């Protein structure tokens, strides 16, 4: 006795009303509990020239001294020394792993800093070590995914978002910016920001933002853009549009507390002409960046990384390896292609398994062989030892035998000698 109402948009889906409470309405609560227990993880890469305020912004974003700014050598970004090393890009990838907690919700945060970006004289390949890092993280994930005996959950070290710090020149993007963003925009969720925007006036910022957007557009560089869902309500749509439309965010970073005239304590930067408040939307776009990265779109960033960026990478990689599959989950579903892909993937997995088994078998055989060789050598040395012992005993016995024989000869002689003397003496006695 179930009432069925066909849904207009899709005739295959039939909505059914239940007669009583079954329990799956509890699913969101179950998911919530599970997520809280597991915690969340987020991998954020920060790229920008030295001194643009990367470490300061990380501390500001998570309201925690993740980086010790007193010991952090930063400030001057023009201190380029012309040594041989500075001609070749020497970028060091520094990962800071930290666990932060807010209202019992745990976030495992990984900040991947590309130290030395933009500081060499020849900047043509500055992007290379960073692209390699992004790729190698995708590779590790792919490897874990294709392992037959994989553990239930794969450690996700893929980069979920990349914050690119643009120098507040007010002109247009530099070749370094364009070169870099061109290389990575299809591999990560790219979020460009105008660093230290407090040195520009409000009009300069708006002007600079539109120049940046124009440059990005001309170069076909894609920046993060969340998927819009039809069932999002108007308020959500408006809020999302508001967050996205402010990119590239004009950022000011600082964890310093400043007392305002009205007594309020605010995070900000103080100047002779006034105070810039970090958490004030009238002063900078920090709040928007935090909304995007943490409050509203963290899951979306991870979802896009997994379903679009990683899928693209995976498809390209497997195609290069000769395994065909559909481009991404966003492409149209083709059952034949999908079947073909699954078959090829299955074959690749089987080949992988066979290889692994061969390796294990080889290892076992060589272990057994080694054991046998050791036992053989052991037996041989024991045999030699016993033979030597026996030979020694035989020799000893032979010597004893000889000794006994010579002793018995002597005894014989002694027994026979008096008889002979007797025999020799008796005629004399008879004669006398």
User: Least distance (Å) from ligand GDP to the CB of residue 76?
Assistant: 9
Please tell me whether the peptide bond between 248 and the residue prior to it is cis, using omega within 30 degrees of 0.
yes
Q: In a 10 Å sphere around its CB, with 0-12 CB exposed, 13-18 middle and 19+ buried, how is residue 314 labelled? A: buried
Question: Is 248 an interacting residue with respect to ligand GDP (CB under 6 A)?
Answer: no
Nearer to ligand GDP among residue 77 and residue 317 (C-beta): 77
The residues near 130 (Cβ < 8 Å, ≥ 6 apart) are 45, 47, 91, 93, 114, 117, 180, 183, 184
Q: Which stretch binds ligand GDP (CB under 6 A): 49-57, 85-93, 186-194, 336-344?
A: 49-57
Query: Which residue in the set 167, 177, 198, 311 belongs to the binding site for ligand GDP (CB under 6 A)?
Result: 198
Q: Which stretch binds ligand GDP (CB under 6 A): 176-184, 195-203, 310-318, 345-353?
A: 195-203
Question: Is 56 an interacting residue with respect to ligand GDP (CB under 6 A)?
Answer: yes
Question: Is 118 an interacting residue with respect to ligand GDP (CB under 6 A)?
Answer: no
Nearer to ligand GDP among residue 113 and residue 311 (C-beta): 113
Site for ligand GDP in 70-109 (CB under 6 A): 72, 74-75
Q: Which stretch binds ligand GDP (CB under 6 A): 45-53, 125-133, 149-157, 307-315?
A: 45-53
Nearer to ligand GDP among residue 55 and residue 305 (C-beta): 55
Asked whether 36 and 107 are in contact (CB, 8 A), the reply is no
Q: How many alpha carbons fall within 13 Å on the CB side of residue 57?
A: 31
Nearer to ligand GDP among residue 111 and residue 188 (C-beta): 111
Query: Which residue in the set 42, 45, 47, 51 belongs to the binding site for ligand GDP (CB under 6 A)?
Result: 51
Query: Which residue in the set 42, 45, 47, 53 belongs to the binding site for ligand GDP (CB under 6 A)?
Result: 53
Q: Where are the beta strands (DSSP E) in 34-184?
A: 40-47, 92-102, 105-115, 161-166
User: Least distance (Å) from ligand GDP to the CB of residue 321?
Assistant: 39
Question: Is 252 an interacting residue with respect to ligand GDP (CB under 6 A)?
Answer: yes
Binding mask 263-292 for ligand GDP (x = CB under 6 A): ------x-----------------------
Q: Which stretch binds ligand GDP (CB under 6 A): 31-39, 69-77, 217-225, 404-412?
A: 69-77
The residues near 239 (Cβ < 8 Å, ≥ 6 apart) are 296
Question: Is 50 an interacting residue with respect to ligand GDP (CB under 6 A)?
Answer: yes
Nearer to ligand GDP among residue 138 and residue 164 (C-beta): 164
- Please tell me the distance from the alpha carbon of residue 134 to that of residue 159, in angstroms, as a whole number: 7
User: Least distance (Å) from ligand GDP to the CB of residue 188?
Assistant: 19
Q: Which stretch binds ligand GDP (CB under 6 A): 51-59, 147-155, 208-216, 359-367?
A: 51-59
Q: In a 10 Å sphere around its CB, with 0-12 CB exposed, 13-18 middle and 19+ buried, how is residue 103 labelled? A: exposed
Question: Is 55 an interacting residue with respect to ligand GDP (CB under 6 A)?
Answer: yes
Nearer to ligand GDP among residue 199 and residue 357 (C-beta): 199
Structure tokens at 93: 């990838």
- Please tell me the distance from the alpha carbon of residue 232 to that of residue 33, in angstroms, as a whole number: 24
User: Least distance (Å) from ligand GDP to the CB of residue 301?
Assistant: 22
Output the DSSP codes for 255-309: --EEE-TTS-EEEEEEETTEEEETT-TTT-SHHHHHIIIIIISHHHHHHHIIIII
- Please tell me the distance from the alpha carbon of residue 223 to that of residue 249, in angstroms, as a whole number: 12
Q: In a 10 Å sphere around its CB, with 0-12 CB exposed, 13-18 middle and 19+ buried, how is residue 141 labelled? A: buried
- Please tell me the distance from the alpha carbon of residue 309 to that of residue 160, in angstroms, as a whole number: 10
Could you tell me which residues are beta bridge partners of residue 164?
Answer: 47, 192
Query: Which residue in the set 44, 45, 47, 52 belongs to the binding site for ligand GDP (CB under 6 A)?
Result: 52
User: CB neighbours (10 Å) of residue 121?
Assistant: 13
Question: Is 253 an interacting residue with respect to ligand GDP (CB under 6 A)?
Answer: yes
Q: Which stretch binds ligand GDP (CB under 6 A): 136-144, 193-201, 302-310, 362-370?
A: 193-201
User: Least distance (Å) from ligand GDP to the CB of residue 112?
Assistant: 13
Question: Is 196 an interacting residue with respect to ligand GDP (CB under 6 A)?
Answer: yes
Give how many residues touch ligand GDP by CB under 6 A: 18
- Please tell me the distance from the alpha carbon of residue 135 to that of residue 425, in angstroms, as a whole number: 121
Region of 47 on the Ramachandran plot (φ > 0 left; ψ -120 to 50 alpha; else beta): beta
Nearer to ligand GDP among residue 110 and residue 306 (C-beta): 110
**CB crowding 203-242: b at 16 or more within 10 Å, else e:** eebeebbeebeebbeeeebebbebeeeeeeeeeeeeebee
Binding site for ligand GDP (CB under 6 A): 48, 50-56, 69, 72, 74-75, 196, 198-199, 252-253, 269
């Amino acid at each position: 006795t179930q009432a069925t109402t066909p849904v207009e948009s899709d005739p295959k889906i039939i909505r059914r009303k239940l007669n009583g409470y079954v329990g799956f309405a509890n699913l969101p609560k179950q998911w919530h509990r599970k997520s809280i227990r597991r915690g969340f993880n987020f991998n954020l890469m920060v790229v920008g020239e030295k001194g643009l305020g990367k470490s300061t912004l990380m501390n500001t974003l998570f309201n925690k001294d993740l980086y010790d700014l007193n010991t952090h050598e930063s400030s001057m970004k023009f201190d380029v020394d012309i040594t041989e090393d500075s001609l070749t890009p020497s970028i060091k990838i520094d990962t800071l792993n930290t666990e932060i907690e807010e209202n019992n919700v745990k976030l495992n945060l990984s900040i991947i800093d590309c130290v030395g970006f933009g500081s060499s004289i020849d900047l043509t390949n500055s992007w290379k070590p960073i692209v390699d890092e992004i790729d190698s993280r995708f590779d590790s994930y792919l490897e874990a995914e294709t392992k037959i005996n994989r553990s239930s959950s794969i450690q996700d070290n893929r980069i979920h978002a990349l914050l690119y710090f643009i120098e507040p020149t007010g002109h247009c993007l530099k070749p370094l910016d364009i070169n870099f963003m061109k290389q990575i925009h299809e591999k990560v969720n790219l979020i460009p920001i105008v660093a230290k925007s407090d040195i520009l006036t409000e009009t300069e910022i708006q002007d600079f933002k539109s120049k940046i957007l124009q440059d990005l557009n001309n170069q076909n560089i894609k920046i993060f853009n969340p998927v819009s869902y039809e069932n999002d309500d108007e308020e959500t749509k408006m809020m999302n549009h508001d967050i996205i439309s402010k990119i590239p965010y004009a950022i000011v970073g600082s964890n310093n507390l400043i007392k305002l005239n009205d007594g309020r304590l605010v995070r900000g930067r103080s100047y002779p002409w006034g105070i810039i408040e970090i958490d004030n939307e009238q002063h900078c776009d920090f709040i928007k960046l935090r909304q995007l990265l943490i409050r509203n779109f963290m899951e979306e960033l991870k979802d896009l990384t997994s379903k679009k960026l990683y899928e693209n990478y995976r498809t390209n990689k497997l195609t290069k390896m000769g395994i065909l599959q559909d481009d991404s989950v966003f492409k149209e579903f083709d059952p034949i292609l999908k079947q073909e892909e699954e078959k090829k993937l299955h074959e690749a997995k089987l080949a992988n398994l066979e290889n692994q088994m061969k390796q294990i078998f080889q290892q076992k055989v060589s272990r057994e062989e080694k054991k046998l060789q050791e036992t053989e050598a052991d037996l041989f040395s024991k045999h030699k030892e016993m033979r030597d012992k026996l030979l020694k005993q035989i020799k000893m016995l032979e010597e004893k035998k000889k000794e006994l024989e010579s002793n018995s000869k002597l005894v014989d002689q002694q027994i026979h000698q008096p008889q002979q003397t007797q025999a020799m003496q008796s005629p004399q006695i008879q004669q006398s």
